[in-house]
């Protein structure tokens, strides 16, 4: 078990704080696993595909370009800063806000499943996002 300390500066919005906590707790299931993760059961292979499809087709706004950008780069851990730049976000608070909104939807509609992982890469200065090849293939087929 890892201990994570999150330092929030005074004045940070509740949405950003929630997104930071969710990102710290978040891991993405793989289709072969059926163990508990973040309080949610991992989907079986059929559910995995359904949740990927739904998470893409039910997305709007910047969530669609996020999923497409990650699907264009499967298996590559992409720093938050690069994702933010690719999506044209004006501040470093925009991506955590998007992730917070996505996390709420994932919790209510997909039993907590996310089609990508939020990971801390050893030797790096920040969080990264990575989508599996399997998830990317499903999203790319839906475009």
pLDDT single digits (tens) 53-97: 999 999 999 999 999 999 999 999 999 999 999 999 988 889 999
Average pLDDT, the chain: 81
Two structure tokens written together for 110: 């997909």
Round to whole Å and give the CA distance between 47 and 64: 20
Please give the CATH number for the structural domain made up of 50-142: 1.10.10
Determine the pLDDT at residue 36.
37
Rounded to the nearest 5 degrees, what angle is found at the Cα of 73, between the Cα atoms of 123 and 56?
A: 120
pLDDT digits (tens, 9 = 90+) for 83-137: 999 999 988 889 999 999 999 999 999 989 999 999 988 888 788 999 999 999 9
| Residue 15, CB-side half-sphere exposure with 13 Å CA sphere | 11
% pLDDT > 90, the chain? 57
Instruction: Report DSSP letters for 7-28, one per residue.
Output: ---TT--HHHHHHHHHHHH---
Rounded to the nearest 5 degrees, what angle is found at the Cα of 112, between the Cα atoms of 106 and 113?
A: 85
Task: List the domain boundaries for the chain.
Answer: 50-142
């Amino acid at each position: 078990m890892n201990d994570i300390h999150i330092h929030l500066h005074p004045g940070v919005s509740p949405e950003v704080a929630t997104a930071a906590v969710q990102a710290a707790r978040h891991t993405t299931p793989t289709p072969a696993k059926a163990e508990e993760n973040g309080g949610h059961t991992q989907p079986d292979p059929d559910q995995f595909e359904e949740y990927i499809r739904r998470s893409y087709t039910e997305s709007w706004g910047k969530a669609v370009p996020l999923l497409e950008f990650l699907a264009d780069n499967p298996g590559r851990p992409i720093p938050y800063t690069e994702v933010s730049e690719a999506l044209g976000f004006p501040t470093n608070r925009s991506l955590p806000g998007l992730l917070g909104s996505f996390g709420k939807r994932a919790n209510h509609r997909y039993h907590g499943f996310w089609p990508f992982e939020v990971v801390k890469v050893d030797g790096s200065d920040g969080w990264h996002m990575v989508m599996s090849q399997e998830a990317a293939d499903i999203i790319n087929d839906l475009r």
